[in-house]
Amino acid sequence: MEPYELTATEASALIAARELSCEELARSTVARIRARDPDVRAWSWYDEDMIIRNARELDKCPPRSPLHGLTFGVKDVIDTADMPTQHNSPIHVNHQPGQDAACVAVVRHSGSLIVGKTDTVEFASGGRRAVTRNPHNPAHSPGGSSSGSGAAVGDKQVQLAFGTQTGGSHIRPAAFNGIYGIKPTHGIVSREGAKMYSHTLDTIGWYGRCVEDLQLVGRAFQLPADDRPAPTGAKGLRIGLCRTPVWSAADAYARAALMEAARRLDAAGAIVEELTLPASFDGMDAAQQTVMRGEGRAAFLPAYLGSHHLLHEDFREMVENSRRITPAQLVQAYDLAAACRRAFDGLFGDTLDAVLTPASPGEAPEGLQDTGNPAFNSMWTLLHVPCVGMPVGKSARDLPLGIQLVGPRFGDTRLLDIARACAPAIHEAGPLARIDAEVAVAA
């Protein structure tokens, strides 16, 4: 097994035991990127010499934390002090920030090896798409806007990577690339130094190759502890199967992945029951759009004024408020979201441990222009709740299919514990075994 193939958790143990050096892992990573990235194109910037040099520096001191030496990709809307941050925008070509974004600083101080910047949809929002291809099938999108981060982890070019989610930019690419991802509770990780789109929605997340990898990073961010013992398996967990108000957007594969995950959890002893959200949640998808585009006006005003000709039409329309979003609509969206947050949290407690729900409307779209529909993500982003994306299987075209588990606000640590306990059941046949879409037709 080559070092690049190790999960973060596996590599962490070897580095701590001095059985693997940071440089060995870095060299294996560089070789993997060289071999694969001409096809995948996950990276907007990296420097092989810098990777090796920084790894050698890390080898000079004892491990600072379990993240020491682990390879981390950073979505190119997140500032890095030693690498450009270009936002896939002509305005920011070769732009060099003055310091690390908060999330980068935390993992860098914890000893992570920042490998490079991953390609993104312009400003993690609209406009230009990433050039990244799906590593499982290059004719398809890796999803967006965290395209490069999802593909880099999915292709084992790095162990960990940061993404961001404002609509469905983090969890959807997790599903499309066959990897694990967490979009934590809004605000639990500082988003300072990541390009702002919507202050109510923007959330930093990270990808890994297993739930343990996500937990490793969660500890670096000091996610609030949960004093309940972690479940050791799916048995007895109360899982709410939630089709959401946008169920009609789910294709046969999305339905098959959800039902297959539910079936496997049920077989492992979990108590899986249908969860229908109150009618007020029907307005959340539209509310998320209102908040995102309404807040995007202020976010892109500086570029609109200063670099008008270089700003993609999508952003000019947002600043010009082409959809005529009124302050009253914005207030209504905020108030609906607040009421639904409270109602959603209220579902948990004695009768529910986690919600099982689709991560995307189906497999990754063909071509690179369509990065997929965020319908199954937007509501959760606006609810501010933690979501853990998990792979379930693969489609006939070799494209990964995923689901997500969702918990109440600040229940991140518990949700990760639950996801870890459920993962073996969901992967009874391996995380990327073939899923039969016919399952959904019957469901």
User: Applying CB under 8 A, which residues contact a second copy?
Assistant: 79, 95-100, 102, 105-106, 108-110, 187-192, 195-196, 199-200, 221-222, 224, 295, 297-299, 301-302, 305-306, 326-328, 330-331, 334-335, 338-339, 341-342, 345, 409-411
CA–CA gap between residue 44 and residue 101 (Å, rounded): 17
- Minimum distance of a second copy from residue 311's CB (angstroms): 12
CA–CA gap between residue 119 and residue 144 (Å, rounded): 10
Q: Which DSSP symbol is given to 434?
A: B
CA–CA gap between residue 178 and residue 399 (Å, rounded): 8
Based on CB atoms, which residue is closest to a second copy, 238 or 341?
A: 341
CA–CA gap between residue 44 and residue 29 (Å, rounded): 16
Q: Strands (DSSP E) along 119-219, which ranges?
A: 160-165, 180-183, 203-208
Based on CB atoms, which residue is closest to a second copy, 338 or 396?
A: 338
- Minimum distance of a second copy from residue 325's CB (angstroms): 10
User: Do 396 and 382 meet the contact criterion of CB atoms below 8 Å apart?
Assistant: no
Measured CA to CA in angstroms, residue 36 lies from 33, 136, 280 at distances of 5, 12, 47
- Minimum distance of a second copy from residue 52's CB (angstroms): 23
Based on CB atoms, which residue is closest to a second copy, 160 or 333?
A: 333
Based on CB atoms, which residue is closest to a second copy, 197 or 207?
A: 197
Q: Name the strands in the sheet holding 203-208, side by side, starting at the edge strand that comes first in the sequence.
A: 43-46, 113-118, 71-75, 160-165, 203-208, 180-183, 387-394, 400-406, 354-358, 238-241, 271-274
Based on CB atoms, which residue is closest to a second copy, 301 or 310?
A: 301
Based on CB atoms, which residue is closest to a second copy, 237 or 383?
A: 383
Based on CB atoms, which residue is closest to a second copy, 108 or 156?
A: 108
Based on CB atoms, which residue is closest to a second copy, 241 or 354?
A: 354
CA–CA gap between residue 46 and residue 225 (Å, rounded): 35
In the chain, helix, strand, coil percent, each to 5?
A: 40, 15, 45
- Minimum distance of a second copy from residue 427's CB (angstroms): 30
Based on CB atoms, which residue is closest to a second copy, 94 or 248?
A: 94
- Minimum distance of a second copy from residue 341's CB (angstroms): 7
- Minimum distance of a second copy from residue 193's CB (angstroms): 9
Residue that is written with structure tokens 């995007």 in the block: 296
- Minimum distance of a second copy from residue 189's CB (angstroms): 6
Please tell me the total number of residues recorded for the chain in this structure. 443
Based on CB atoms, which residue is closest to a second copy, 199 or 238?
A: 199
Based on CB atoms, which residue is closest to a second copy, 269 or 302?
A: 302
> Of 279, 277, 244, which is closest to residue 171 (Cα–Cα)?
244
CA–CA gap between residue 415 and residue 339 (Å, rounded): 22
CA–CA gap between residue 210 and residue 230 (Å, rounded): 16
- Minimum distance of a second copy from residue 304's CB (angstroms): 9
Phi, psi of 271 (to 5 degrees): -100, 100
User: Do 88 and 237 meet the contact criterion of CB atoms below 8 Å apart?
Assistant: no
Q: State the distance between the two ends of the chain, measured CA to CA, in whole angstroms.
A: 40
Measured CA to CA in angstroms, residue 429 lies from 318, 416, 432 at distances of 45, 21, 8
